[in-house]
Amino acid sequence: MAKWRNFRKPSSAGKPKYEIDHAAFVTGLHVFADGACEPNPGPGGWGVAVYRDGHEVASDHGGDADTTNNRMELTGLLKGIEAAKALLAPATLWCDSQYAVKGTNEWRHGWKKNGWQRGGANADPKNRILLNVDLWQAIDAALSGADQIIVKWVKGHAGVVGNERADELSNLGIAAVIRSYTQGEETGGYLTAQYQRIMGG
């Protein structure tokens, strides 16, 4: 498990500085998940990279032509959970999205208790709508009985090899979606919702 040193004294700019013990990723099973969207909303991709004792042993990526960054982050996390479960051993799943990690470790339980809605019973109905509820429910189901998986946050673009690789894979997912769309492969499945409406889809 990676050792995170707590915040150091503020730097001259007043911002705390993270230090990552990169050697901690050299042993054990680590799954890195990421998602991206360019522009947001627009074509998006997700990526997952699996490392055993510091060596990449598996990877996967995919995408959607009409999505959001948060949906791709959650899709990457879900695919990462599925990959971690397949390892049949304790694994740490790393994601650089606070939304995905905090939602999984903290907020998810309250949402589930409230019938997959945000806020309490007295909250404004408009504010109770939980975005991406389908993915949150899938993540909850995937984590059921998966006590061997720990989901943790990792700072993005900080030189952590697995995180950089998952980011690369998510961009490959975007590229594959765009390539399929521009080349006319399975065009119907890659049209944005706007163009599907225009074309009567």
Do the bridges between strand 149-153 and strand 91-95 make them parallel or antiparallel, or are there none, so unpaired? parallel
Q: What is the 3-state secondary structure (H, E, C) of 137-155?
A: HHHHHHHCCCCCEEEEECC
Show Cβ contacts of residue 47 under 8 Å, excluding neighbours closer than 6 positions.
Answer: 33, 34, 35, 59, 60, 61, 76, 165, 166, 167, 168, 169, 170, 171, 172, 173
59 beta partners? 49
The residues that are catalytic are 34-35, 73, 96, 157, 167
Determine phi and psi for 69, rounding to 5 degrees.
-60, -45
Q: What angle do CA 63, 55, 81 make, to 5 degrees?
A: 45
Determine phi and psi for 121, rounding to 5 degrees.
-65, -25
> Rounded distance, CA 161 to CA 167, Å?
10
Determine phi and psi for 134, rounding to 5 degrees.
-60, -40
Residue showing tokens 């911002």: 15
